[in-house]
Every structure is written in C-alpha cells, then in structure tokens.
Structure 1
Amino acid sequence: MTLNGQELKEIQEQGAPKPSWQKALDYAMDKRGTPYVWGGTTKRGYDCSGLMLRAYESAGIDLPRTAAQQYSAFSRKISWKNLKPGDLVFFSGLGHVGMISRPGHMVHSPRTGDVVKEEKLSAWRRQAFVGAVRPDPAGVKLTTHLAKLRQAPAPVMPTATL
C-alpha cells in the first residue's frame, strides 16, 4: 500500500503529542460563547486572565491569577512582530490579556456583557499593546520560586555576645 503526502502527514500527527500552546489554545477556543464574569475561572464564566489561567492549566502549565502577574511570570518578552499562536498578549497597562489564536487574531474574554471570542487585532489593540509572553513550565516555576524567596522572612542571623 502506498500513502500519499496528506495521508502520511495525518498518521504522523496522530502519533505526536500536542505542544502545550496548542492544548491551551484548543481549550480557549472551545470556550467561545462563554460569558465574561469578573473574577471568573469556570465554565460558568471567565474574565480575561481567568480564561488564560485555565487554558494553560489544561496544558499542564500553572499561571498566576491576574494579567499583571501572568506578564511578570516570564522574563522573556515577545515583541508584536514575533507573535505566535499560544502567546499571551497584554494591553492597557497590563489590565487585559488575550491569546494569539492565529496570525493577526486573538481569543479573549473582553468585558462585562460580552463573551469569550476570537477577534482581529485592531490598530487600537496595537496602540494599547504592552507586551507578550510565551508560556513555558520552566519560566513559571522559576518566577514562582523567586517570588516565594522574596516573600519569605529574612533568616535569623546569629548574634555574638561578649
């Protein structure tokens, strides 16, 4: 039996595990139509960072809760011209986050009264762009570890007595 190129590609893809970003993107895209709920992190409703939190959690990557914390969780930032699907994009002083779904588009949970949706990145979004990150397990673990060290009380130092 001879396979054509498309058939061979399909067989290869079936055996290869999905990358984390693809799992996260599939999760977020599957939630389109779910209502925006401020502070929401469940199928009843999501806010912007709650959607990203659950999407990457489904891919085995733990993110912090808020958009600002998610941005700060990674030292490597991605420029507008280097965005790829799965990247988290941040806007308006870190007050909003979405995920690149395909070139020039993002999936996000926009605001009260709206739903999770995919939309084109507009000129207005470009102007409000703060930065982007490409989530990976190592980046979050390192940042979480450093944050815990900063919050820990200072070690007790021995004092000399005369």
Structure 2
Amino acid sequence: MAACALVCAQLGLLTAAAGTAYAEPGGPGPKGPPGVGAPDGPPDAGEFGGAADTARLEEIHKKIEKLHDRVESATEEYNAADERAARQRREIVRLARAIARTREQLEELTDRAGAMARAKYRSGGLPPGARLVLDGDPDDFLRDLGLLHKGEQAARGLIGRLRTAREDLDEYADEATGRWAKLEADRRRKAAAKKRIEAELARAEKLESKLAAGELERLRRLEEETAWARQAKWLETGVLDEIDDRASARGRKAVAFAMAQIGKDYEWGAEGPDTFDCSGLTLRAWEAAGRTIPRTSQEQWKRLPRVAVTGMRPGDLIVYQSDASHVGLYVGDGVMVHAPRTGRPITLAGAGSLPILGVVRPDA
C-alpha cells in the first residue's frame, strides 16, 4: 500500500504539471484547468550560486547529457547485435540438425546404391539378349526383363535422390558458413558497442567525480530544470487539448506493468525482472499485455505502426532522439514512464521532457 501511495503521489504531481502550461522558470504562467493546482516550478538559476559557477555546472551538465545520449545509442546498438546474434545461433542450430538428417539420409541411400550394385554384379551384369540365349526360356526372360526395368527405374530414382541429398547438404553447409560469418560480425559489433558504452560511462563518472557533494545535488537539480523547461515548451503548444487519454485493454495492462517497475534501477542491456534499460522496459510491458514487440527502440520505431503525437493514448510508445535511441511508455495526462539512464531509476517524467521523434502503437 505504501508503494502504491508513493506511485500515486508521483503521478498526481506530474499530472498536475502536465495539466498546467508553464512559463519559463521564474516567470508567471497561465493557470491550469479548474481543480488542478500549479506545483512549484524548478529552482531559480540564482539558487545554483554565482554566474560563473552556474555556467560551469551547465557546461558539465551538457557534457554529461551528451555522453549519456551516446551511451543510449551504443546500448541500442548492443541490444540489436545481441538480438541478431541470438537469431543467428538459432538458425545455426536448425541448420546443424538439417545437416545431420541429410547426412543420415545420404548414408542410407549410399548403402542402398551399394546393395543394388552388388546384386547386379552377382547376376553377371549380362545384357538382355545374352541372357535370352543362355537361359533359352522366353517366359523366364520376359519375367526377368520386367524385373530388370523396374530395377533400372529404382536405380535412376536412387541416383536422383542421392544427387538431391548431396546438393541439400552442400546448400546447408554453405548457409551455415554464412550464418557463422554473420554471428561473428554481430559478436564484434556487440563487443565494440560494449566497449563504447563502458568508455562513455567512465568519462561521465570522471566528470561527476570531480564535483563535491553539494555540486552533485545542484547538478541533479539542473537536470530537473532542463526537463521542466522542455516539458513547459511542449505544453505551451496546447498538445494536451487534442490528446485522447482512452487506453485499450492491452494498453492498460502495459501501463500497469511499467508503473509497477518504478524505482527499479536502470541497467544497459537489461530486460528485467530486476533491472531494465529503456527498450527492455517497453518490451516487457507489452509482453505482459500479450503483445510481442521488437527489442530495441530503433526497431520499435521502425516496425510498429505510427500515430500522431496528438493521437496518442496510454500504452503507446514515445520514441525520443533523432536516432530513436530512447523510448518511454505514455501513461496519460502528458506523463510517461521510462528507464532514463545509468544512475537513474525507472521513473515518471513529462512526455515532452526529451526531444520527441514520434509515437508508435503496439496494438494498433
């Protein structure tokens, strides 16, 4: 119950924020709709200290944000390579089984061909005319001739099946070789992406390690101020006046799952149940709703049906950044739930607090 109350309180605060069109921090803004109070805005720039200190923190914030953007891009590349590698491994297993079956068939056919050759050898391999002269019995000859024709037809069929089996075996072997090459390429991409992720995270951590505890808190508040400003600018377009918040049955299930993960840690490459990255969260949310969607945010953006921002409803996925490297799940009232980045837990945020690329609907 306490956890439920905390989530409801968070949602209530952000819902109020979403329902109010804010002006720039520090300035007056228009009132929200009846019954919705305007929460306190982000801190004034003056609370960060002197102008030089504030400028320094802003510069550090921009650098850290850019580093984490690169981490997200590399994470989705890592996820994509991991998914492709898993698919290649499944195909290689399938081909290995096909090769084993075909080899068994080839061995059986080869044994049968050998048996037929031995039988022909034992019969002397004489042509039909010579057999008639030697046997001297036309009835026996005609009977043997019919059997001979049947044997020749069987031999031709056997030879054809042998040829087909050898061709299939060669084809499977060639395909398996190609799959191995692709698997190795995806392994290299995955390793390279992991290396970039670790390097960018190390740079971000190094920047943060140079800050005192008080400065880290001020940096965190600066991040929040930036998000508030983006959300305010998005709300000023009047977008919420057009958005219909009626969710589908599956959309409600996806929202319920995602909301239940609030507070869990972000971990790049993770798909739950204890930690998630951004697309891992949306993947599992819609899996809980009974719909399988692509693993990465780029593939979710590429392959799922798109809807206008003004037409989105709870459960829809909001894809962010120009390279579709981040994704959140819309919960309604201008709010989304997402796994932000390393060092930040799954949380609620303004749907417009990040640069929106577009919206997709898994259950269109």
TM range (shorter): 0.5 to 0.7
> Does the alignment pair 1:133 with 2:360?
yes
Superposed CA deviations along residues 64-120 of structure 1, whole A, max 9, x for unmatched, are 11000111122x311222221111000112010001111210000000000111112
Counterpart Cα distance in 1 of 2:291 and 2:309: 23
Q: In proportion to residue count, which structure has more helix?
A: 2
State whether residues 250 and 290 of structure 2, in contact with CA within 8 Å, keep that contact through their aligned partners in structure 1. yes
The within-5 A match list for 1:94-109 is: 94-109=324-339
Using the TM superposition, give the Cα deviation of residue 134 of structure 1 relative to its aligned residue in structure 2, in angstroms.
1.1
State whether residues 35 and 114 of structure 1, in contact with CA within 8 Å, keep that contact through their aligned partners in structure 2. yes
Partner of 2:94: none
Q: In proportion to residue count, which structure has more strand?
A: 1
The within-5 A match list for 1:47-66 is: 47-66=277-296
Q: May I ask how many residue pairs the two structures share in their alignment?
A: 116
State whether residues 85 and 101 of structure 1, in contact with CA within 8 Å, keep that contact through their aligned partners in structure 2. yes
Aligned partner letter, 1:101: V
Q: Secondary structure at the match of 1:46?
A: coil
Structure 1: tracts of 5 or more residues without a match: 1-17, 140-162
Q: Secondary structure at the match of 1:45?
A: coil
Counterpart Cα distance in 2 of 1:24 and 1:77: 18
1:86 to 311, 315, 329: 315
Superposed CA deviations along residues 21-51 of structure 1, whole A, max 9, x for unmatched, are 1111100000000000001101220000000
Partner of 1:46: 276
Tell me the TM-score normalised to structure 1 length. Answer: 0.68
State whether residues 41 and 47 of structure 1, in contact with CA within 8 Å, keep that contact through their aligned partners in structure 2. yes
Structure 2: tracts of 5 or more residues without a match: 1-247
Counterpart Cα distance in 2 of 1:73 and 1:34: 28
Tell me the TM-score normalised to structure 2 length. Answer: 0.31
Q: Secondary structure at the match of 1:89?
A: strand
State whether residues 87 and 99 of structure 1, in contact with CA within 8 Å, keep that contact through their aligned partners in structure 2. yes
State whether residues 34 and 43 of structure 1, in contact with CA within 8 Å, keep that contact through their aligned partners in structure 2. no
Aligned partner letter, 2:356: F
Partner of 2:351: 121
State whether residues 88 and 97 of structure 1, in contact with CA within 8 Å, keep that contact through their aligned partners in structure 2. yes
Counterpart Cα distance in 2 of 1:56 and 1:42: 13
The within-5 A match list for 1:13-28 is: 19-28=249-258
Q: Cα RMSD over matched residues?
A: 1.4
Counterpart Cα distance in 2 of 1:131 and 1:24: 19
Q: Secondary structure at the match of 1:35?
A: coil
Aligned partner letter, 1:57: E
Counterpart Cα distance in 2 of 1:36 and 1:133: 22
- Choose 1 or 2 for highest CA Rg: 2
